[in-house]
Amino acid sequence: MQIEPRENISPWRVVLAPVTAIGVAFFLCSFLIAWTGESILEAYGFLFKGAFGSRFALSETLNRATPLIFTGLAAAVAFRAKFWNIGAEGQLYFGALAATLVGTGAINLPPILMVPFLFVAGAFAGGLALLGPVFLKTVLKVDEVVTTLLLNFVILLFINYLLEGPLRDPMSMGWPQAASVIDAGVLPALMERTRLHIGFLVAIGAAIFVWALMRFTIWGYEIRAVGANATGARFAGISINKTVFLVAMLSGGLAGMAGITETAGTKGYLTLDLSPGFGYSGIAVAMLANLNPLGVVISAIFLAGIYVGADSMSRAVNIPTYIADVLVALSVLSVLVSLMFVQFKVRWR
Amino acid sequence: MANLKISNVTKRFGSLVANDDVSLEVSEGEVVALLGENGAGKTTLMNILFGHYVADEGTIEIDGVTLPPGSTDAAIKAGVGMVHQHFTLADNMSVLENIMLGTQSLWSLKSTVGKARQKMEDLASEYNLHVNPDAGIADLSVGERQRVEILKVLYRGAKILILDEPTAVLTPAETDQLLANLKNMVASGMSIIFISHKLHEVLAISDRVTVLRHGAMVGEIATRDADKAILAEMMVGRKVTRPKAQILEAGESVLELENICVAKKDAKLLSDVSLTIRCNEIVAIAGVAGNGQRELAELLSGLRSWDSGEFRFEGSAVTHPSARKFLTLGFGRIPEDRHHTGTVGEMTVWENLLSEKLGQAPMWKYGKFIDFAASRKKAAELIEQFDIRCNSMETPARLLSGGNMQKLILARTLTASPRFILANQPVRGLDEGAIAFVHEQLLEARKNGVGILLISEDLDEIFSIADRVAVIYHGRISPLLDVRKTNIRQIGAMMGGDMKAVA
């Protein structure tokens, strides 16, 4: 068997490869469904209906996709520059913390200003959470995978402390949760009688912003160059440290905004179970999208659909919701393999 | 009976035919030179022989027995030994450990170190390849490392020795030593395949020359019937004349280095380097790889600072170096490694063409946004002017051939109208046509008043285009000599550290 790089990559292949890969993931997963004794088609039917089958299902899926778009963009931007930020989870909580600190009454602005203000505050907090790792990496060459990953647990424990102590809402009857975001800061709903809020539109705006930044600007050029070949970029006069810093602030900021959509949008207040691992799922989202900012939107909706759909499937037939994790994991694996087939061809002898 | 017989080997990589129906025979006690330009398929053929690659067609026989394809183990057992261009030694282990590596049984509890030491010493004295068995590889000179590589191969009982560009890293004196050792081995019945593109070495050592061009065998000639001109024409396929420098009066000094020192921890990488490069001249730095060229090049590219000494550009002192700053000052840089330093391979040809002008009009609007139309127009002009062969300017730069990649870098450098150019190994690995092009461009820049520093290991290159030459040895630079008043022998001696030869 020989693996050879392709010289001309047709756009068809780029589109078809991930689609086929996801088909393969569903096919492999159907063995597990068959094992539970349920009908495969019926189960997938419930999954699809639960994710996209009604106005409510769709709103739930898009609502779930909102923080995933932000964390997916955070990973996509960082990974493009080969800055391995695994700490989006912690940065998300820092963003949520910012929403609590400034959004629960400390600052009062009219809604038109309060909502943008919260997003900015969240972005700042997310970036702040990455300052330590980025300093350690640029000055002392400490591996950012280790620092960002471990910082997640530090931040979570810190939030835990705050929720048990200084930030606990006196009205919460003892539950470890913070005060609610004031009405002016709550993200307005997009559809009546659903949880979908304008955070989703902000997320799409962020994706377009990141896409344009990467494609049209000097910063995007520098980020791509540093990621593709740091030695070459440095030789051409690009400052590696400056670029890494920029990428880290952008990535942390995007992850921090996910904290805003959850605190000021979906949930209304900060708790310790605010995120069911959105920060980590963001990595899967980015990988599925091959780090393309616009692709992140699609892959985030896809992943959210699987999670939301699996919930409803498990209520209808006797299949545990964990099937969603299996499906997501298989999708990421098969998409990564399929992307290799886009870049390379295999010759058998 | 033929010792080794390669029959009708064909090997394709995608659309590229690396070996096209190549046949080669080597008998016992014979030296066959495999001659060809870079990319002619010499190394591919030898990698097939050694089992690294599997040929698409064709067979390899040793003493009448066909080798199973793709098995390095079988090749070694059949007596094939390969000394790679880039050494395959473990730096942190001793000479003896490197030689024994992979020869001990995993299941044996008994150490065979004593026996191995004896065997190695026997081989060393038999073939006059002396190295201290207990020395660490990291402490050895390049010539000594090569000796270890050869010993390693002999230790495994090789009868057919393949040497891939063995002299590329050696001084002229070390080369002579190597050739003498090889003759010694042949006398005792070894066969040797000697891969090179250096004609005089091929003429000195081989019995027979096989020439490869674009993967195909273009001819075979007994060495006694050959001379340099015949071989050069066979290799290139046409008569190529490299340009020669016209005599020019050098102008004012562009770049002055005075007692520049660069140290890393305790090691002095550059000590008291003093150099003056003037307008309208090419100053060459000759030397064996690893004597401080890399540090000197980094220094002049703005990638490295210095510990002490004076750095002046056009009369004013330069401090706080950075690549961006040097580019703005008027430095042009042609780096040693085109693939990893000179270009960003995943980015397109046009993006690479503007990489040193980030934020500058007309390719950038408002300093921060790419002006696609202006950038593509500029790129198209440069591609046309420098004859960069690529499918389109949207092609990733990594798909360009070495020569075209170098043209891209030259285009990017020269279009900025630099007043000083650092050319670090500008023609290494290029074919004759591309070499001539690069030299012409450098000479043209020289004529237009640019001062050029050429770092090269190739004395022929230095003597054909440089005006003055100095030798770098252990981080020190000799006084500059006029190229027209010195000769290859003198520079060769200096490259080996004999600075008395300066006089």
Of the candidate ranges A2-16, A30-44, A91-105, the one whose mean pLDDT is the lowest? A2-16
For an interface test with A, the pick among B353, B355, B389, B399 (most A C-beta atoms closer than 10 Å) comes out as B355
Chain B residues inside the 8 Å CB shell of A3: none
pLDDT of residue B302: 94
A349, B368: Cβ pair inside 8 Å? Answer: no
Judgement on whether residues B309 and B353 belong to the same structural domain of the protein: no
My answer on whether B228 and B148 are in the same domain is yes
The domain boundary residue, chosen from B177, B206, B236: B236
Record: contact A236-B347, CB cut-off 8 A: no
Please check whether residue B443 lies inside any domain of the structure: yes
Please give the distance of CA A320 from its chain centroid, rounded to a whole number.
24
Chain A: residues touching B (Cβ < 8 Å): 4-8, 216-219, 221-222, 224-225, 228-229, 231-239, 349
Q: How much is the average pLDDT of B471-486?
A: 92
> Would the pLDDT of B466 be above 80?
yes
Specify whether the CB–CB gap between A184 and A264 falls below 8 A: no
Q: Are B57 and B80 contained in the same domain?
A: yes
- Mean pLDDT estimate for chain A: 92
Identify which of B432, B502, B466, B498 has the alpha carbon closest to the alpha carbon of residue B172: B498
Instruction: Give the residue on B whose Cα is nearest the Cα of A348.
Output: B56
pLDDT at B495: 86
Burial group, residue B108, by CB count within 10 angstroms (0-12, 13-18, 19+): exposed
Q: What is the pLDDT of residue B247?
A: 85
- Whether residues B163 and B293 share a domain: the answer is no
List CB contacts (< 8 A) between B324 and chain A.
Answer: 237-239
The reply to whether B106 and B134 lie within a common domain is yes
Are A237 and B344 inside 8 Å of each other by CB?
no
Res. A349 pLDDT band, cuts 50 70 90: low
Q: What would the mean pLDDT of B19-26 be, rounded to a whole number?
A: 90
Average pLDDT over residues B229-235: 84
End-to-end CA distance of chain B: 54
Distance CA B274, CA B260 (A): 7
B343 interaction partners in chain A (CB closer than 8 Å): 229, 232
Q: Residue B2: is its pLDDT beyond 60? A: no
Domain boundaries in chain A?
A: 63-294
Residue B389 domain boundaries: 344-416
The count of structural domains within chain B is 3
pLDDT at B316 > cutoff 70: yes
| pLDDT, tens digit (0-9, with 9 covering 90-100), for B194-230 | 988 778 888 989 999 999 888 888 889 999 998 888 8
The pTM is what?
A: 0.82
Q: Is residue B337 part of a domain?
A: no
B contacts of A241 (beta carbons < 8 Å): none
Contacts of B13 in chain A (CB under 8 A): 4
Q: In sequence order, which residues have a C-beta less than 8 Å from that of residue A141 and are 6 or more positions away?
A: none
**In the prediction, which pLDDT does A123 show?**
97
- Are residue B144 and residue B259 in the same domain, yes or no? no
With CA atoms as reference, the chain B residue closest to A7 would be B399
- CA–CA separation, B150 vs B152, rounded Å? 5
- pLDDT of amino acid B261: 94
CA of A229, closest CA in chain B: separation in Å?
A: 6
B chain contacts of residue A10, beta-carbon cutoff 8 Å: none
pLDDT at residue B67, rounded to an integer: 87
Confidence (pLDDT) at B276: 95
User: What's the rounded Cα separation, in Å, for the pair A69 and A88?
Assistant: 12
CB contact under 8 A, B369 and A216: yes
Range scoring the smallest mean pLDDT among B86-95, B102-111, B253-262, B488-497: B102-111
pLDDT in tens, B288-300: 878 899 999 999 9
pLDDT at B500 over 70: no
Whether B462 contacts B495, CB under 8 Å = no
| pLDDT computed for residue B207 by the predictor | 93
Please report, as a single letter, which amino acid is at residue A180: S
CB contacts, 8 Å: A217 with chain B:
368-370
Q: What is the pLDDT of residue A121?
A: 97
Share of chain B above pLDDT 70, in %: 98
pLDDT of A54 = 92
CA torsion angle B210 B213 B215 B218 (round to 10): -50
What's the one-letter identity of residue A7? Answer: E
Residues B379 and B351 in one domain: yes
Å between A238 CA and nearest CA of chain B: 7
Final residue before a domain boundary, out of B367, B384, B416: B416
Report CB contact under 8 Å: A232, B343.
Answer: yes
Question: What are the b/e assignments for B166-204, b being 16+ CB within 10 Å?
Answer: bbbbbbbebbebbbebbeebbeeebbbbbbbbbbebbbb
- Each residue's pLDDT tens digit, A131-185: 999 999 999 999 999 999 999 999 999 999 999 988 888 887 878 899 899 999 9
**pLDDT tier at B1, thresholds 50, 70, 90:** very low
Cis peptide, bond prior to residue B362, ω within 30 of zero: yes
Show residues of chain A in contact with B401, CB under 8 Å.
Answer: none
- 8-state DSSP, B339: I
User: Position B187: which residue type?
Assistant: A
Q: What is the CATH number of the domain that holds B311?
A: 3.40.50.300
Query: For residue B242, is it within any domain?
Result: no
CB contact under 8 A, B358 and A237: yes
Domain finish residue from B385, B416, B447: B416
- The verdict on a CB contact (< 8 Å) between B355 and A225 is yes
From first CA to last CA, the distance across chain A in angstroms is 6
Determine contact, residues B260/B311, Cβ cutoff 8 Å. Answer: yes
Structure tokens at B402: 């070495």
Nearest to B323 among A6, A8, A236 (CB): A236
The closest CB to that of B345, out of A219, A229, A234, belongs to A229
Residue B338 domain-assigned (yes or no): no
Q: How far is residue A122's CA from residue B319's CA, in Å, rounded to a whole number?
A: 41
- The predicted-structure confidence for A111-136, as pLDDT tens digits, reads as follows 899 999 999 999 999 999 999 999 99
| Domain annotation covers residue B339 | no
Q: Give residue-wise pLDDT tens across range A186-212.
A: 999 988 888 999 999 999 999 999 999
Mean pLDDT score, B414-431: 91
Question: What residues does B60 pair with on adjacent strands?
Answer: B6
Q: Is the pLDDT of residue B14 over 80?
A: no
Residues B468, B361 share a domain: no
Indicate the pairing of strand A177-180 with strand A269-271.
antiparallel
B335 lies in some domain: no
3-state secondary structure chain A: CEEEECCCCCHHHHHHHHHHHHHHHHHHHHHHHHHHCCCHHHHHHHHHHHHHCCHHHHHHHHHHHHHHHHHHHHHHHHHHCCCCCCCHHHHHHHHHHHHHHHHCCCCCCCHHHHHHHHHHHHHHHHHHHHHHHHHHHHHHCCCHHHHHHHHHHHHHHHHHHHHHCCCECHHHCCCCEEEECCHHHCCCECCCCCCCECHHHHHHHHHHHHHHHHHHEHHHHHHHHHHHCHHHHHHCCCCHHHHHHHHHHHHHHHHHHHHHHHHHHHHCEEECCCCCCHHHHHHHHHHHCCCCHHHHHHHHHHHHHHHHHHHHHHHHCCCCCCHHHHHHHHHHHHHHHHHHHHHEEEECC
Q: Which residue is closest to B400 within chain A, CA to CA?
A: A7
pLDDT at A331 over 80: yes
| Nearest beta carbon to residue A221 from set B322, B341, B358 | B358
ipTM: 0.86
Confidence category of residue B501, pLDDT binned at 50, 70, 90: low
Tell me what pLDDT residue A239 has.
Answer: 94
**Weakest mean pLDDT among A320-334, B180-194, B233-247:** B233-247
Structure confidence by residue, pLDDT tens digits, A90-101:
999 999 999 999
Residue from A3, A235, A240 whose CB has the most chain B CBs within 10 Å, to mutate: A235
Residues B403 and B435 in one domain: no
Radius of gyration of chain B (CA): 25
| Better-scored residue on pLDDT, A116 or B267 | A116
Count chain A–chain B contacts defined by CB atoms under 8 A. Answer: 79
Choosing among A1, A10, A229, which should be mutated to test the B contact, i.e. which has the most B CBs within 10 A?
A: A229
At residue B264, the pLDDT reads 84
User: What is the mean pLDDT of the segment spanning A261-270?
Assistant: 93
Distance from CA of B365 to the nearest CA of A (A): 9
Q: What is the DSSP-derived secondary structure letter of residue B133?
A: T
- The pLDDT of residue B60 is above 60: yes
What are the beta bridge partners of residue B19? B11
- Closest chain A C-alpha to B216 CA, distance in angstroms: 22
Contact call for B14 and A234, based on CB within 8 A = no
- Percent of chain A residues topping a pLDDT of 70: 99
Here the tokens at position B177 are 């030593």
Contact A237 B356 (CB under 8 A): yes
Mind telling me how many Å the CA of A296 is from chain B's nearest CA? 21
Q: What is the pLDDT of residue A174?
A: 78
Is residue B225 in some structural domain? yes
User: What's the gap in Å between the CA of B472 and the closest CA on chain A?
Assistant: 23
Q: What is the pLDDT of residue A2?
A: 67
Contact B323 A228 (CB under 8 A): no
Is position B252 within any domain?
yes
